[in-house]
Structure 1
Amino acid sequence: SVIDPRTGEIIKGHVTLGSLRVRQDMKIAEGLLTPFIEDRSELKSAVKNMALARIRQLSAHEIGHTLGIAHNFAASASDRASVMDYPHPLVNLTTDGGLSLSNAYTEGLGVWDKQVLAYGYSDFGGMPSSDEQLARILDENKTLNLSFISDRDARPAGGAHPQAHLWDNGSEPVTELERLLSVRQQVLDNFSKDMLNSDQPLSQLQSIFVPIYLLHRYQTEAAVKWLGGVNYHYYMADDSTDDYQPVGAARQQAALKQLLKTIQADTLRVPSHIKQWLVPSAYGESSSRENFSGKTGLIPDTVSMAASAADHSLSLMLNSQRLNRLAQQHADNDRVPSPAGLMTAIFNTVFSDWENAKKAPVQQRLLATAINAEVRAVKNSGLAAETRLVMRAELAEQQQKLAKSDSLLVKQLAKDLDKFLNEGQWPEQYEPEPLPPGSPI
């Protein structure tokens, strides 16, 4: 923007749209639609239409910035009320068991956009006082149940606002996470290499598989904000703050239930038919940061994929700010999950998975990944003293349970955990590989 420094008026704005988002959208669309559309020309058209819909929405978004309009990351909770949100493509299952992206992105301005433009740019000449007209627009926002929450509240991993998220959908993020996990599973079950042409290296399939395997990553970031979440908005001095309250205990419990699914082996295990297609890079193909890293050299490591995905959820659940809020909220309402209770739920989930398949590498790695995430959380300097103490006590309980196992693997994990509790030493080798970058979509 070119801005008048005296007044703040935007005199001129330039918008540049790169090709990365189009490329990502096309890969996501190919991965989602190929199992359900046999006709190649129809598939190509559907993929192109989704990519163009995203650029259309993004163009309106960037032009909104040239008009001085800020991000509104609460708009998705109000039926996608603004182009100034960051939209994740809306994926819908059809009645015949297929999948549709025809409504992946909205068309035109949303209700919020029209309201903010009316507030910022209306000429009230000849009408009652401008103050009264501006107040009327704000009252309309309340009637329409429109919210405004921007970057500082929405971007941090420890964010508390239950509606302020990037790359999410739905009025209730936990319900949408449950739905999206179901969509993801159906797509993975039907995932096909037919999206590649016969003259393409099979190794290129991984770059399409990654965003499908991680389809739930951003909705997980949205759902976790119910855990230790707090309802609020931007208050004026004469506003009532009666709504400034923690998210209800029942909603927090519902969020935890769905979040635990994102660390389960059944959710994260790569289906065998897909593993058969995740081959090493072909001659002339370079490695890409868009693919998963692993511990198996040039061979794609599906166990490390599961660990990286699980660690994403664990890091969000065990964020120090979230844990501190949970400790305080639990003190006022014991139906809210406590930090120790959260750790117990995580441990029970991965330990139960391991007990059901003790020799399975995925279950073994997920158990180690969960313990590592808990240790990392306890070590975090942002953890309040009282929160750290109860979490260390819970770690000690888990150590004792692990020590009773007949498994050499679990006994060693117990020894390492005991050494951490007594000497503060913890092996760095338990840390999983980071996820491939996914934003911007």
Structure 2
Amino acid sequence: MLKNATKVSLAMLSLGVALNAQAQDKKGDTKASAAAPAAVAAPKADAPKPGPKPYKEVITDKAKTSKGLFTVHKIEDKYYFEIPDSLMGREIMTVTRVSKSATVPGSVGLPAYGGEMLNRQVIRFEKGPDNKVFLRGVQYINVSADSTQPIYKAVRNSNVDPIAQAFEVKAFKKDSVSKSTNTVIDISDFFKSENQIISLPPMIKTAYKLTTLAPDRTYLTSIKTYPINTEIRAVRTYNGAPSMPGAPSAMPSVSLPSVATTGVMTMEVNTSMILLPKVPMKKRNFDPRVGFFANGYTVFDENSQRTEDQTFAVRWRLEPKNAEDAAKQKKGEIIEPKKPIIYYIDPATPAKWRKYLKAGIDDWQKAFEAAGWKNAIRGEILADNDTTISLEDARYSAVRYFASDIENAYGPNVHDPRSGEILESHIGWYHNVMKLLKKWYMTQAAAVDPRARKSKFDDELMGDLIRFVSSHEVGHTLGLRHNYGSSSTVPVEKLRDPKWIAEHGHTPSIMDYARFNYVAQPEDGVKDLYPRIGEYDIWAIKWGYQTLDGATPEDDQKTLSKEFIQEIAKNPRIWFGTETNPYDPRSQSECLGDNNMLASEYGIKNLKRIVPNLIDWTKEEAQDYDMLTESYNEIVTQYRRYIGHVVKNVGGIFETPKSADQTGVVYEPTPKATQKEAITWLNKYVFDTPTWLLDEKILSRIRPDQGLDAISRIQDAALSSIFSIDRLQRLVETQSKYPTAYGIDEMLTDVKSNVFAELKTKKATDSFRRNLQKNYVEKLIATANASGASMSGGFSFRGTVVPAAVDPRKTDIVSVSRGHLLALRDEVKASLPLIQDKMTKYHLQDVLFRIEKGLDPK
């Protein structure tokens, strides 16, 4: 998901200066000076002529030669590539990965562990002038649909690929078989240099505070060449700048222990050079209704009256072995592909977890069978002593195991930017993902599953959880994105039905961030609590991997669109909800069911069952309360997730991508009844003090405070989200079109009626509620006095900007907020004489002072 260009200027300057030295006598020695003969410059020896030498003078008998993509020669400490004419101009993918690294503190997003990718770039070698070979970085931004069209020249004139490196030709060799010429270049210095194509990206060096490459401690260790790829391994040493305590930084950085102690960092990297197919795989045009990763570029075509952004799905190439199998598949038979998708399990993986990682890969078999392929995907466990396969070899995909405290796993892929064809993948598996799984499962399932009620899970339970995450990450490497909307297609009450869950699972997609079934109650008898590959996943794999025989990708696109419209009419559970939509309450991370309020209510019921038992479930002999602290904090985090799920319904906008041949609208507001239900839920479960979190036995063991500020911060976050300008503007926008829709005035009235309920009852207001009321007033004042434009949008699913910014001073937002402040001021004034509780009176006097100052800031 990448793009960069480097401009390299090369200049050659030669300057010859002939100096004619003449002897000088001492001052006054005129006789000697007169008698001395004139000095004559000695003839210069001919300098060796630059340029190619005879092949045998360069590639001598000392050469150790291996043949593959490039013929590689090693002579002492020098490496030479012998490049045939057939490879000049061919596009090659370079992928640079960490092989071995120094100890790096865990940091998601920064490559640090053996097997993680540093960068990738498409290159090509080409012959240049003056016996040079150029290495160009190929950019796929703008392309021409047809190289025979005149517009092709215009596109090329505006999109010159940068020359990243120039090599002197050392020798030529005539190939007696192919009748072509092989060109020999010295590759050694290139792989020991700081060329960005095979080095650490600038952002990574900045984050690690690395400065310059240390050339005396940087060297090649091996180059191995295979039929379609060449693998280059090098040790690279960088000078570094130790972090200074408290020093400001423009971007997040990581302190490296080796830099702190020695001033340098040494790592081993492997660069794979993979020959891209001469004929790119047939594209499958992207469809926003199915969640595939995509690549694309702008296409210029003389037959079109505008430029076209061509976007296509990222997927593996699956093809029949022969014409006979292709005919069988066309008749509906399931066949084996010519080349199956295989993931090798890293031998560094603890033995007891390997079978679960493999099972997570093999679980995808049924999805590929629906697409017409059998035995299309599998996991293979590499033996500890297996030396036949190198996981740095770009021909192999793998699950790499990292000894890291990062609580994560990820599933990337390397693909051909011309077609979206996935070439290989290295799934990253951090050891500490098990800690994350344990926290999730205890928090979301311990009320129902007794196995989750302990500080250390049994291997079988942890293995099942690993299997689920393995399947999820493999899904990414097959091209699938997160489907945050999948779980919203399930009626909440079905999540409590054991029979229904056994048949369908609690979400139709393992690519959803649905985690575990936190809705099921102890009395329901639901045992199946974690996700599995579901109906959406099977549909999506069929969409991406079935064989289609359209003449063009556009023909296939029409066929697939008809299939989708027919299928979703029969089964709404194949709906895809993007992970990038900030407004659609149906597309959310870690939520369940078609009603966020009801699902979150059930979730809180289970949290209330867990909290009183946390001390017993987390205690370990002779240990402190770290586990209790961690588990309690996770409970709070889960509760805050529920709040976020509910808030997104307020001012929500449904987005349902459709093609022009589908009926119905793409955008529509969340129903008014749903939005009012969300505010009612917030009033009950957030603004009414959640005292169930204030378990005295727990708090007295893990923190010195009584939870007053912690509750206030939770309520403050909910109010901040409700009062966000973009949410308020969506309420204004919706009501401008639908006068009876849920608007900003009604929403603020509904919130205030609970937050300031004591104004009507005249009861004493406790410290929790006093904090809440102050928070509400401060938010209302800030909105009424908004000073300028505020971001009110973002990027929608298809990248369209929806509106970029709004100035609340020019909308009804400020007007309504000021009106509510005036009304609240009058209510407080009327109530004050009737209040008996001293602290409540002080509080309301303060609230009145704040409001009056807010209405007249001068």
TM range (shorter): 0.7 to 0.9
Q: CA deviation at 1:321?
A: 1.9
Q: What is the alpha-carbon distance in structure 2 between the residues aligned to residue 387 and residue 150 of structure 1?
A: 29
Contact 1:169 1:176 in 2 (8 A): yes
Amino acid at match of 1:134: L
* Match status 1:304 vs 2:701: no
Contact 2:447 2:521 in 1 (8 A): no
TM-score (norm 2): 0.42
Quick one: which of 478, 484, 487 aligns to 1:73? 484
Q: Which residue of 2 aligns with 1:252?
A: 675
Amino acid at match of 1:17: W
Quick one: which of 367, 371, 374 aligns to 2:777? 371
Q: CA deviation at 1:266?
A: 3.7
For residues 187-202 of structure 1, what are the structure 2 equivalents within 5 Å?
187-202=610-625
Q: CA deviation at 1:203?
A: 5.6
Q: Which residue of 1 aligns with 2:568?
A: 141
| Structure 2 CA distance for partners of 1:327 and 1:48, relative to 1, 3 Å | farther
Q: Which runs of 5+ in 1 are unaligned?
A: 281-298, 425-441
Q: CA deviation at 1:274?
A: 3.6
Q: What is the alpha-carbon distance in structure 2 between the residues aligned to residue 34 and residue 147 of structure 1?
A: 30
Quick one: which of 323, 348, 365 aligns to 2:728? 323
Q: What is the alpha-carbon distance in structure 2 between the residues aligned to residue 270 and residue 77 of structure 1?
A: 28
> SS of 1:15's equivalent?
strand
For residues 121-140 of structure 1, what are the structure 2 equivalents within 5 Å?
121-124=545-548, 134-135=560-561, 137-138=563-564, 139-140=566-567
Q: CA deviation at 1:117?
A: 0.8
Contact 1:73 1:148 in 2 (8 A): yes
Q: Identity over aligned residues, as a percent? A: 19
* Match status 1:115 vs 2:539: yes
Q: Which runs of 5+ in 2 are unaligned?
A: 1-412, 491-506, 791-806, 836-840
Contact 1:269 1:362 in 2 (8 A): no
Quick one: which of 241, 245, 270 aligns to 2:664? 241
1:83-129 Cα shifts (integer Å, max 9, x gaps)? 22112321222228xx97x433213x111111111111112469xx8
Q: Which residue of 1 aligns with 2:423?
A: 11
Q: Which residue of 2 aligns with 1:398?
A: 824
* Match status 1:360 vs 2:766: yes
Q: Which residue of 2 aligns with 1:175?
A: 598
Q: CA deviation at 1:344?
A: 2.3
* Match status 1:162 vs 2:573: no
Q: Which residue of 2 aligns with 1:277?
A: 700
Contact 1:72 1:149 in 2 (8 A): yes
| Structure 2 CA distance for partners of 1:275 and 1:375, relative to 1, 3 Å | farther
Q: What is the alpha-carbon distance in structure 2 between the residues aligned to residue 199 and residue 27 of structure 1?
A: 21
> SS of 2:590's equivalent?
coil
Contact 1:306 1:366 in 2 (8 A): no
Q: Which residue of 1 aligns with 2:745?
A: 340
Moved more, 314-323 or 22-31: 22-31
Contact 1:33 1:43 in 2 (8 A): no
Q: What is the alpha-carbon distance in structure 1 between the residues aligned to residue 613 and residue 762 of structure 2?
A: 26
* Match status 1:64 vs 2:469: no
Contact 1:28 1:208 in 2 (8 A): no
> SS of 2:621's equivalent?
coil
1:417-436 Cα shifts (integer Å, max 9, x gaps)? 32122117xxxxxxxxxxxx
Q: CA deviation at 1:317?
A: 2.3
Amino acid at match of 2:741: V
> SS of 1:95's equivalent?
helix
| Structure 2 CA distance for partners of 1:24 and 1:369, relative to 1, 3 Å | farther
1:306-359 Cα shifts (integer Å, max 9, x gaps)? 112212322232222221121233345455332122222222212226868635
Q: CA deviation at 1:23?
A: 1.6
Q: What is the alpha-carbon distance in structure 2 between the residues aligned to residue 386 and residue 264 of structure 1?
A: 26
Q: Which residue of 1 aligns with 2:848?
A: 414
| Structure 2 CA distance for partners of 1:356 and 1:272, relative to 1, 3 Å | farther
Q: CA deviation at 1:204?
A: 4.6
Q: CA deviation at 1:209?
A: 0.7
Amino acid at match of 2:662: D
Q: What is the alpha-carbon distance in structure 2 between the residues aligned to residue 207 and residue 84 of structure 1?
A: 27
Contact 2:468 2:530 in 1 (8 A): yes
| Structure 2 CA distance for partners of 1:58 and 1:379, relative to 1, 3 Å | farther
1:135-164 Cα shifts (integer Å, max 9, x gaps)? 4531213321022121321xx3xx1x2311
1:367-412 Cα shifts (integer Å, max 9, x gaps)? 2223233334445543642122111211222233334435112211
Greater RCO (Cα-Cα under 8 Å, separation 6 or more): 1
* Match status 1:93 vs 2:499: no
Q: Which residue of 1 aligns with 2:531?
A: 106
Looking at secondary structure, tell me which structure has more strand per residue: 2
Q: What is the alpha-carbon distance in structure 1 between the residues aligned to residue 718 and residue 819 of structure 2?
A: 22
Q: What is the alpha-carbon distance in structure 1 between the residues aligned to residue 444 and residue 575 of structure 2?
A: 31
Q: CA deviation at 1:71?
A: 1.9
Q: What is the alpha-carbon distance in structure 1 between the residues aligned to residue 814 and residue 557 of structure 2?
A: 51
| Structure 2 CA distance for partners of 1:183 and 1:35, relative to 1, 3 Å | closer
Q: What is the alpha-carbon distance in structure 2 between the residues aligned to residue 47 and residue 113 of structure 1?
A: 29
Q: Which residue of 2 aligns with 1:285?
A: none
Q: What is the alpha-carbon distance in structure 2 between the residues aligned to residue 421 and residue 111 of structure 1?
A: 56
Q: What is the alpha-carbon distance in structure 1 between the residues aligned to residue 595 and residue 729 of structure 2?
A: 24
| Structure 2 CA distance for partners of 1:387 and 1:37, relative to 1, 3 Å | closer
Amino acid at match of 1:167: E
Amino acid at match of 2:718: S
Q: What is the alpha-carbon distance in structure 1 between the residues aligned to residue 733 and residue 558 of structure 2?
A: 42
Q: Which residue of 1 aligns with 2:812?
A: 386
TM-score (norm 1): 0.78
Q: What is the alpha-carbon distance in structure 2 between the residues aligned to residue 375 and residue 47 of structure 1?
A: 53
| Structure 2 CA distance for partners of 1:226 and 1:33, relative to 1, 3 Å | closer
Contact 2:444 2:517 in 1 (8 A): no
| Structure 2 CA distance for partners of 1:339 and 1:247, relative to 1, 3 Å | same
| Structure 2 CA distance for partners of 1:35 and 1:63, relative to 1, 3 Å | closer
Q: CA deviation at 1:275?
A: 5.1
Contact 1:353 1:363 in 2 (8 A): no
| Structure 2 CA distance for partners of 1:41 and 1:165, relative to 1, 3 Å | closer
Looking at secondary structure, tell me which structure has more helix per residue: 1
Amino acid at match of 1:5: P
Greater C-alpha Rg:
2
* Match status 1:151 vs 2:579: yes
Q: What is the alpha-carbon distance in structure 2 between the residues aligned to residue 349 and residue 373 of structure 1?
A: 16
Q: CA deviation at 1:198?
A: 3.3
Amino acid at match of 1:70: R
Contact 2:485 2:512 in 1 (8 A): yes
Q: What is the alpha-carbon distance in structure 2 between the residues aligned to residue 331 and residue 279 of structure 1?
A: 50
Quick one: which of 754, 772, 778 aligns to 1:349? 754
Contact 2:597 2:677 in 1 (8 A): yes
Contact 1:82 1:113 in 2 (8 A): yes
Q: CA deviation at 1:259?
A: 2.2
Amino acid at match of 1:213: V
| Structure 2 CA distance for partners of 1:230 and 1:205, relative to 1, 3 Å | same
Contact 2:656 2:665 in 1 (8 A): no
Contact 1:71 1:151 in 2 (8 A): yes
Q: What is the alpha-carbon distance in structure 2 between the residues aligned to residue 148 and residue 269 of structure 1?
A: 36
Contact 1:169 1:219 in 2 (8 A): no
Q: CA deviation at 1:199?
A: 1.4
